[in-house]
């Protein structure tokens, strides 16, 4: 808190130094650009709100102040770079301590939700959804958080038995990419590729099951001025991987034939698991590559 107060005072002093001129003016009177005057006034007002911001509205007023500074730069110019320096020093406008607390709260709420019972499902779902929404508010927009929030829907429990067939419907990530180079970005990469459209899991009532893999993809990219052009080569495979499984509350534990156990999570009629570095794409120009965490989402057939 002391650090934040010091920073706010510093911004006030710097802004006044940039926009105030105490030297007497001698010479021809020049009519000032009214657009520039309005921009300076807007910045001054935004600074006032920022200096008086509470912990709850700090991020919003910081973003407003940063936008006002950039608008002033565009209209009035910034010959010595001082306004740009003020903007840069604001960073991303999110309180790191507040964000860390929000992430911790979301993790606690998720753990509670993953152990719901029929009696407390709605209560724990609402608490988890609220924690995610608050995390997004104080930490910034996130495609993964938004997907989790949307997936919780209205927190009305839809009972679906785990035994049966489930099909892969999503590769959800925290990034927005255009894998098919059509100018439209998405965080569900399966929407972008003609691959992995028949990957299923079958859960038997005796605690056994099979993972049916029917395709695979080799993904490469070529860097360009706007980002990357992606190339996806999809080819058919035929792999049936047996496993054993058991369910504990909202968690489904799957153990493959090599003894490796992965924890999946149930949410209504969805089953999902997040795996680090599951997305992999190699550059066509050098040895660089892109890896990302993917949340694999299945729905009951």
Count Cβ neighbours within 10 Å for each residue of 260-292 and write b for 16 or more, e otherwise: eeeebbbbbebbbbbeeeebebeeeeeeeebeb
CATH of 164-300, one of 2.60.40, 1.20.120, 2.40.128, 3.30.870: 2.40.128
Mark out the alpha helices in 20-57 (DSSP H runs). Answer: 34-51
* Confidence (pLDDT) at 22: 42
Return the minimum-mean-pLDDT range out of 113-122, 185-194, 249-258.
113-122
Angle of the 82-89 helix axis to the 58-76 helix axis, nearest 10: 160
CA atoms within 13 A on the CB side of 220: 7
Residue entry with tokens 């190339």:
231
Query: How far does Cα 295 stand from its chain's mean position?
Result: 12
Q: Which two tokens stand for residue 156?
A: 């009305």
> CB count, 10 Å around CB of 181?
14
pLDDT of 158 over the 80 cut? no
What's the longest Cα–Cα distance across the chain?
93
- Across the range 264-269, mean pLDDT stands at 82
Per-residue pLDDT reduced to its tens digit, 272-293: 898 889 999 999 999 999 999 8
Q: In terms of C-beta distances under 8 Å and separation of at least 24 residues, what long-range contacts does 30-33 make, across chains too?
A: 33/75, 33/76
pLDDT of 36 over the 70 cut? yes
pLDDT of 206 over the 90 cut? yes
pTM of the model as a whole? 0.56
Per-residue pLDDT reduced to its tens digit, 211-227: 999 999 999 999 988 88
pLDDT of 200 over the 90 cut? yes
Structure-model confidence comparison of residues 35 and 53, the more confident one: 35
């Amino acid at each position: 808190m002391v650090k934040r107060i010091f920073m706010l005072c510093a911004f006030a002093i710097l802004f006044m130094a940039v926009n105030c001129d105490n030297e007497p003016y001698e010479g021809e009177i020049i009519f000032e650009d009214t657009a520039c005057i309005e921009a300076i006034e807007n910045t001054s007002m935004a600074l006032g709100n920022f200096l008086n911001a509470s912990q709850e509205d700090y991020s919003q007023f910081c973003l407003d102040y940063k936008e006002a500074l950039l608008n002033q730069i565009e209209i009035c110019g910034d010959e010595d770079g001082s306004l740009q320096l003020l903007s840069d020093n604001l960073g991303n406008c999110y309180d790191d301590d507040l964000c860390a607390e929000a992430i911790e709260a979301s993790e606690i709420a998720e753990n509670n939700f993953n152990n719901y019972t029929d009696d407390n499902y709605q209560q724990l779902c609402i608490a988890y959804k609220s924690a995610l929404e608050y995390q997004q508010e104080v930490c910034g927009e996130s495609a993964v958080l938004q997907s989790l929030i949307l997936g919780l829907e209205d927190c009305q429990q839809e009972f679906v038995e785990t035994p049966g067939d489930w099909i892969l419907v999503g590769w959800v990530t925290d990034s927005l990419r255009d894998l098919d180079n059509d100018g439209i970005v998405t965080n569900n990469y399966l929407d972008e590729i003609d691959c992995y459209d028949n990957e299923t899991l079958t859960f038997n009532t005796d605690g056994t099951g099979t993972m049916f893999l029917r395709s695979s993809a080799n993904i490469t990219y070529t860097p360009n001025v706007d980002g990357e052009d992606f190339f996806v080569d999809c080819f058919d495979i035929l792999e049936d991987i047996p496993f054993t499984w058991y369910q504990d509350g909202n968690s489904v534990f799957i153990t493959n034939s090599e003894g490796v156990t992965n924890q999946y999570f149930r949410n209504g009629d969805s089953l999902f698991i997040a795996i680090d570095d599951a997305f992999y794409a190699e550059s066509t120009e050098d040895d660089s590559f892109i890896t990302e965490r993917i949340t694999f989402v299945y729905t009951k057939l």
